[in-house]
Amino acid sequence: MFMWLVVWIGVLVIISRPSTVYGIMQALEIERTADFFVMSGFTLFSIIIFYLYIVVKKSNQKVEELVRSLAIEKRKVKRSKKVKK
């Protein structure tokens, strides 16, 4: 949530005062503010997509581990109940 707040505040600042990014634009040799917007937006979205890919992959691994250990534990419990009877 905090990350999105920073992103939106950044966007608002750049829109209302484009001069704030002139320094960065000069360093990157970008002439138009619109070009800077497109390029930084593309970079930001690429980072976000990669980040989400990692998050989803990690979640999938956790779900897999959980489902697999549940299957084994459930079977163990059934076996031990059978032995007790």
Partner 1 sequence: MKSKKVFIIIPGYNEEKRVGNVIKTIRHLGFKNIIFVDDGSSDKSSQIAKSAGADVLCHIINLGKGAAVKTGCDYALKQGANIIVLMDSDGQHRPEDIRRFLKKLEEEKSDIVFGYRIIDKNMPFVMKFGNWFISTATKIIQGIDIRDTQSGFRCMKSGTYRKIRWESTDYSMESEMIANVGKHKLKYSEIPINTIYLDNFKGTTIFDGIRIFINIIRFKVFGRK
Residues that bind partner 1 in the complex, under the rule CB under 8 A: 60, 63-64, 67-68, 70-72, 74-75
CB of 65: closest distance to partner 1 in angstroms?
10
Contact of 36 with 25, CB cutoff 8 Å? yes
Cβ-based nearer residue to partner 1, 26 or 80 = 80
Cβ-based nearer residue to partner 1, 28 or 77 = 77
Which residue, chain included where needed, has tokens 């997509």? 49
Angle between the 33-84 and 2-16 helix axes, to the nearest 10 degrees? 170
CB of 56: closest distance to partner 1 in angstroms?
13
Cβ-based nearer residue to partner 1, 35 or 64 = 64
Classify residue 18 by burial, with Cβ atoms within 10 Å: 0-12, 13-18, 19+: middle
